[in-house]
Amino acid sequence: MKKLFALLALASVAQLAVSAEVVGNAKAAENKVAMCIGCHAIPGYKATFPEVYQVPMIGGQSAKYIENALKAYRKGDRKHPSMRGIAGSLTDQDIADLAAYYAQQK
């Protein structure tokens, strides 16, 4: 019976860890934005790889939108190769931090 309770307790703790939401920290993102500003901080910037397109300004976007977009790039649901490579290097905490940072911008 003790083993059963111990197993249930461990399962509960594991479930809490999995379902815990990552909270973004805008201050922590200040050291992470270097990879973003080269394109997303330039008004009217157009990228030419893999084709010419207008790079969106992300300052002021909702945090949820940025998180969803980065996770979609990381997963491969969004196909831009540069963004996919960048997003692939980000942890969930990095994504939450970047989203919090850019959501505070104007």
pTM of the model: 0.78
Write the single-letter amino acid at 33.
Answer: V
Bridge partners, 53 (sequence order): 47
CB-CB contact of 32 with 40 (8 Å): no
Distance in angstroms between the alpha carbons of the first and the last residue of the chain: 58
Supply φ then ψ for residue 69, to 5 degrees.
Answer: -65, -45
Ranges of each domain in the chain: 22-103
pLDDT, tens digit, 9 for 90 and up, residues 46-97: 988 878 989 999 999 999 999 999 999 999 999 999 999 999 999 999 999 9
Give me the CATH code for the 22-103 domain, please: 1.10.760.10
